[in-house]
Every structure is written in structure tokens, then in C-alpha cells.
């Protein structure tokens, strides 16, 4: 009842929606970079939307399934294969015993998520299964997955009659995710308290110029390369609480967007915030890709998030009905 890591990837960790309520103690939430992909993958296999998943970047891990499993991949397309058989994203897939899942090439996106039906049998830390790398807690032993790690599954269903000697079998439905992400390279933002510190030219540059994601970006923050933005006045900033999506202006005039593993407080000017609905799209951008910022109102940001959540709920309901119907045909659950 387990999945064995045959070969580790660049940064493979167990994540969920993250742990909340502890930032005042200096414990950042962590969690998945792309909550939409986590929700989609879990919905496809009939899990709760916030069930822990494995987040992977390319080069990603090679995983041996030591027992039958139903999985789904969502987010980035990293060319998943079982032997010579392609494994699609956004579809539920049955895996047989001794099947090896590996990833061959980055086709699109930056991070992919694998959900396992019924989830992994791990121990939460402070109410979350997310891996906190700095604290060495949560996830699987508080760290990235390594060679020969064995991840226990909560439950195993014998899919052998359905697999019929195949290493993997796609189930006959999928989720279309196009409407769940923003189109193109435009990321929508709301103004932060520090926006008024920018001079007139910097304000115009901020929303009219393309920025690129620097190679030094990681789960803590995406550093941007672009024009040096200047402030109208020099002022000292007190450290204050920050959150995912906060855009800070660094002393050299460059920007950093705080991501899943961000610190709990920051003293740099907070000039804007990436809206929650666009944070999954941002997470799927890779180093050297470009992006443009578009300003929206707080009400527009809230409406976009409500619409995205409604679409995710409809997809979850549809997947649940389809999966229950399909499993009942074969006397499975």
C-alpha cells in the first residue's frame, strides 16, 4: 500500500492548502503553489479538494506504485509516461502494481500535482500536511522526497480486472481547465499601501511594461527583472505582515512577488497584490517568461475569485457523480 521514490526530482514535496493561524508565531503557511491544479487533481479521483498532493517540478521524480492506485495529474504538463504509454493531465488514471511513473520533458507550465485516491497516510503538523522545509516539519519527514522514500497510501482498491494486463488505464472523462486560469501573460493586481510612494513615471511603467521572472525565483518568491521603479519620496518602512501575492519594491527598484513559502513579515514597500484568482496562473510561469500587470478593483478581485470557486465546485460535483457511477458498475468504491 505504498508509492516508492525510485529517483528524486528537483523539488518534490507533499503539499495541501497550507496551515493558517500561525503567522503571528513566525510560521508561514506554505502549501501548494497552484491551488486550482490541486483542486482539479483531487476532484478527478474523488478526494476532498484540500487533500494532500505531491507537488513536482521538472525534472520530476520517478515513482514506483507498489500497489494498485487511482491518480490524477494536473497543472504543468511534464510529459508523464508509464513505460512507453503517455499519461495525460486532467484525467483520472488507474495504475497497476509495479507500474513506474516518470516525467520526460516540460511541455507547458512549471509545477504539476499528483492526487492519489483516498490520499496518503501521513501525520499532519499544526493542522496541515504541507511540507515546511525550514522547520523540517509536515509532509513526508519535513523535507523534499528522496530516493527510496516510501509514501504509504491510506487505502488500496483492487483495479486488476479493469486494468487487464495494462500498466495504466485512463478513465473516460477529463476536466477542461482553460477557464480556470487567466489568458496570456496578464496577471491582475490590486493596489497596495505602498503604491502611492511610486513617482508618476514608475506608476505608468508598473502597468505598461513587461517584467520577466528571474532565474533566482523559488517557492519563497518570484524575483522580477524589469525597469527600475523609483519612489517619489524616500521613507523608512516599518515591518508589517505580508501574504502570498504581495508585490514588494526592493531597494534597487526591482520587484519580488511573495509566493507559498513567503516570510511572515516584511519591511519593503508593498506596492500591490496579485489577486487570489490569478495566483495559480502566476505559479505556472517559469524563469525568463514575461508577464504584464493589470490593475483591478477590490470588488473585481472578489468577483473573479467567487466565479473561479463556483466553477471548481461545479467540476467537483460532476467528477463525483461520474466517478461514483463508474465505480458502481464494477462493484468498487
Under CATH, which architecture does the 186-296 domain have?
Answer: Beta Barrel (2.40)
Chunked into runs of 10 residues, the chain (333 residues) has average pLDDT values of 94 95 87 98 96 97 95 97 93 94 96 97 95 94 96 90 82 93 92 91 93 94 94 75 92 95 87 97 96 96 97 96 88 74
Q: Give yes or no for a contact between 38 and 171, defined as CB atoms under 8 angstroms apart.
A: no
Kind of pairing, strands 85-86 and 108-116? Answer: unpaired
DSSP per-residue codes, 141-180? TTS---TT-EEEBS-----HHHHTT-SEEE-S-----GGG
The predicted pLDDT at position 333 comes to 67
The predicted pLDDT at position 14 comes to 98
Domain ranges of the chain: 2-178, 186-296
DSSP per-residue codes, 1-23? -EEEEEE--SS-EEE-S---S-G
CA pair distance 93, 87, nearest whole angstrom: 8
**pTM of this prediction?**
0.95
Amino acid at each position: 500500500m505504498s508509492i516508492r521514490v525510485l529517483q528524486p526530482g528537483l523539488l518534490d514535496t507533499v503539499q495541501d492548502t497550507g496551515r493558517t493561524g500561525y503567522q503571528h508565531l513566525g510560521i508561514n503557511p506554505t502549501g501548494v503553489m497552484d491551488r486550482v491544479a490541486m483542486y482539479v487533481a483531487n476532484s478527478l479521483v474523488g478526494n476532498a479538494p484540500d487533500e494532500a498532493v505531491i507537488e513536482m517540478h521538472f525534472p520530476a521524480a520517478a515513482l514506483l506504485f507498489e500497489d494498485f492506485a487511482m491518480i490524477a495529474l494536473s497543472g504543468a504538463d511534464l510529459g508523464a509516461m508509464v513505460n512507453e504509454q503517455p499519461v495525460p493531465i486532467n484525467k483520472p488514471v488507474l495504475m497497476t502494481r509495479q507500474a513506474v511513473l516518470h516525467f520526460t520533458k516540460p511541455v507547458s507550465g512549471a509545477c504539476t500535482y499528483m492526487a492519489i485516491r483516498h490520499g496518503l497516510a501521513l501525520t499532519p503538523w499544526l493542522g496541515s500536511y504541507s511540507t515546511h522545509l525550514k522547520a523540517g516539519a509536515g509532509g513526508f519527514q519535513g523535507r523534499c522526497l528522496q530516493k527510496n522514500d516510501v509514501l504509504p497510501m491510506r487505502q488500496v482498491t483492487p483495479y486488476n480486472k479493469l486494468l487487464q494486463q495494462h500498466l495504466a488505464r485512463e478513465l473516460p472523462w477529463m476536466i477542461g481547465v482553460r477557464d480556470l486560469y487567466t489568458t496570456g501573460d496578464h496577471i491582475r493586481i490590486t493596489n497596495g499601501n505602498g503604491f502611492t510612494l511610486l513617482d508618476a513615471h514608475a506608476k505608468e511603467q508598473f502597468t505598461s511594461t513587461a517584467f520577466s521572472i528571474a532565474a533566482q525565483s523559488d517557492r519563497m518568491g518570484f524575483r522580477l527583472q524589469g525597469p527600475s521603479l523609483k519612489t517619489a519620496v524616500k521613507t523608512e518602512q516599518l515591518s508589517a505582515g505580508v501574504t502570498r501575492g504581495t508585490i514588494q519594491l526592493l531597494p534597487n527598484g526591482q520587484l519580488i512577488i511573495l509566493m507559498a513559502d513567503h516570510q511572515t513579515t516584511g519591511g519593503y514597500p508593498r506596492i500591490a497584490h496579485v489577486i487570489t484568482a490569478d495566483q495559480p496562473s502566476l505559479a505556472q510561469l517559469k524563469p525568463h517568461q514575461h508577464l504584464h500587470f493589470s490593475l483591478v478593483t477590490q470588488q473585481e478581485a472578489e468577483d473573479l475569485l467567487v466565479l473561479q470557486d463556483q466553477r471548481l465546485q461545479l467540476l467537483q460535483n460532476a467528477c463525483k457523480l461520474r466517478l461514483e457511477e463508474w465505480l458502481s458498475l464494477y462493484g468498487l468504491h
